[in-house]
Amino acid sequence: MSYTDVVPLLLALEDQGPHRQELNARWESGQLGIYGVGYQAGPSLKDIVVHMHNEVNNTHPTNYNIIATLEGEIDDEVVILGNYRDAWTAGAGDPGSDSAALMEIVRAFGAVVQRGGGLDARFSLLAGMDMRPNWEWLRNRTVAYVDIMGAVMGSQFFAKASPLLASLVRDVTQQQPSVNQSVAGQTVLDSWGRSVVVGDGGDALSFMGDGIPMLTLGFGHDKAIDPAFHWHSAFDTVQWMDRFADPSWEYHVRAAQIWGLMAARHAGDPVLPFNMTEYVTVVRGIVDDVQDVIEGRHDGFFIGLEPLNQAVAQLYHAAIEFDAHVVHLRHPRVIQPRHPKFTALTTSIKNSSSISGPIWKRTQTPT
């Protein structure tokens, strides 16, 4: 709805219910105070009735899944790079920047294949698709789903991932220079802040629900420093991206490089880049939060968490043993180090001539 339509509805709530200052911080960001809107939660007076007429044009268009595959030697272990095209309108930031990043990764992978290279380990699937029709096949073979959701909507890197993959995110972002060089030589990791939260939405959530490690990343919008991002509106256009969000298209390049390197690590490393100790840290934090809630009650209600604490301690010792075994497996004397094909792939992704700004504009449709 436009502001013109919304303002009368919000004004009808004045002096009705809690004021925004009594609610959480998300109520504080409204910008309609100049129209007298105080942002109260209601409910409104009983004699106020809203009549709404909604016209919907129902159509049945054909939907296409776009899938590319790169076969490795382990065909029952699949790594998926995914994004989906679901723009409400032009969608240059969401999700056009995702599609552009995927196209560039395909081009970088393809450059290696054309030179006779490829992946020496796992089967890779690169997809702009709805995963559900293929779910039974995917759930039995997928070792990781590496997703991008809003590759460039601003300048602030974010990552949502299964705890198993948090250390991989930090490792890869430490290798990539930050577009923002306000501090000379800083990496994406330096400017980002290391916080990897557990995934909470999008396609990746379906994989996580079935116990498949997932990772979602991108450059999100920070309203304090970035140009206004008109999410899900007709203003999310290539012109907006060109003029305001990413005029040099450097953030697009960096997003694709980070995404591609994470995918390459999954597909090409003989040992999957999992870290169990990080998982225990997250579980420990959740249990501690539950303990704080219990201790904060004053109604005599009590739940003993000792069995849960013991289980977490056992998990910790198992994780330490697991990670130590992984380190042992990665020793060159135990398992063959990364294949030259893998080195060629990561070089292709990192190389600025393989993923470069001008190419990106050919993957976006002007509006």
Are 189 and 235 within one domain? yes
pLDDT at 234 over 80: yes
Least reliable range by pLDDT among 93-102, 117-126, 328-337: 117-126
Note whether residue 61 is domain-resident: no
pLDDT of residue 367: 35
Q: What is the pLDDT of residues 295-308, one digit of tens each?
A: 887 777 778 899 99
Are 312 and 223 within one domain? no
197 DSSP β-pair partners: 160
Note whether residue 228 is domain-resident: yes
Note whether residue 179 is domain-resident: yes
Cβ 217 vs Cβ 258: under 8 Å: yes
Note whether residue 334 is domain-resident: no
pTM: 0.80
Average pLDDT rounded to a whole number, residues 287-291: 93
Note whether residue 116 is domain-resident: yes
Torsion-angle region of residue 2: left (phi > 0), alpha (psi -120 to 50) or beta? Answer: beta
From the centroid of its chain, how far is CA 109?
21
Are 129 and 206 within one domain? yes
pLDDT of residue 119: 57
Note whether residue 157 is domain-resident: yes
Are 34 and 83 within one domain? no
Tell me which residue range forms the domain holding 323. 276-329
Are 174 and 141 within one domain? yes
Note whether residue 186 is domain-resident: yes
Are 2 and 112 within one domain? no
Are 213 and 87 within one domain? yes
Are 321 and 215 within one domain? no
Note whether residue 335 is domain-resident: no
Are 94 and 227 within one domain? yes
Q: What is the pLDDT of residues 99-113, one digit of tens each?
A: 999 988 888 888 888
187 DSSP β-pair partners: 177
Q: Domain boundary at 13, 29, 56, which?
A: 56
Q: Count up the domains in the chain and report the number.
A: 3
Place of tokens 């990343």: 217
Are 174 and 258 within one domain? yes
Q: Measuring CA to CA, which residue among 214, 217, 192 is closest to residue 204?
A: 214
113 burial via Cβ count (<10 Å: 0-12, 13-18, 19+): middle
Average pLDDT rounded to a whole number, residues 206-216: 87
Are 229 and 357 within one domain? yes
Are 214 and 324 within one domain? no
